């Protein structure tokens, strides 16, 4: 009989629902590690609001999927996302993850003129996961 490793609560449903309020921007989908559909939601205003309403009921399953997919560890996903969302162009989230050089580059270039900030919205879960598995 094979034992499964325990699943950690890496993402918060509360944060997911708070981001869902702005769901037409795809914020909650980026948070749960779904950058492709997050971008689709962003450019279509949550599939014209229909996908946004459906996601109200899908957040618990997106949360469970993220908990299975990403490793818990030293770095907190929710804190990383809060730092990225509000201070991302200053690289504070990168400094938090111990990425000092790129954090300073983000700080002095406005998140590489915003392009690096957008890149981090698509890859932050993987960055935190990588740091937590190291």
Q: Which helix (H) or strand (E) holds 124?
A: helix 115-133
pTM of the model as a whole: 0.88
The pLDDT confidence band at residue 6, using thresholds 50, 70 and 90, is low
Q: What is the pLDDT of residue 111?
A: 95
**By the 8 A CB rule, do 67 and 16 touch?**
no
pLDDT per residue as tens digits for the range 61-113: 999 999 999 999 999 999 999 999 999 999 999 999 999 999 999 999 999 99
The residue among 73, 134, 18, 90 whose CA lies nearest residue 120 is 90
The residue whose two tokens read 């993987």 is: 126
Coil/strand/helix, residue 72 = coil
Token couple for 5: 């490793």
The residue among 6, 7, 10, 8 whose CA lies nearest residue 76 is 10
Coil/strand/helix, residue 1 = coil
């Amino acid at each position: 009989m094979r034992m499964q490793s325990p699943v950690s609560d890496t993402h918060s449903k509360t944060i997911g629902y708070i981001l869902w309020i702005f769901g037409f921007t795809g914020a909650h989908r980026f948070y749960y590690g779904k950058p492709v559909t997050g971008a689709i939601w962003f450019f279509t205003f949550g599939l014209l609001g229909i996908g946004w309403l459906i996601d109200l009921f899908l957040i618990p399953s997106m949360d469970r999927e993220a908990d299975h997919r990403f490793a818990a560890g030293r770095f907190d996903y929710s804190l990383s996302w809060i730092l990225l969302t509000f201070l991302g162009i200053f690289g504070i989230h990168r400094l938090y993850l111990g990425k000092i050089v790129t954090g300073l580059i983000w700080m002095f270039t406005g998140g590489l003129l915003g392009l690096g900030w957008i890149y981090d919205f698509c890859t932050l879960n993987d960055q935190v996961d990588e740091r937590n598995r190291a």
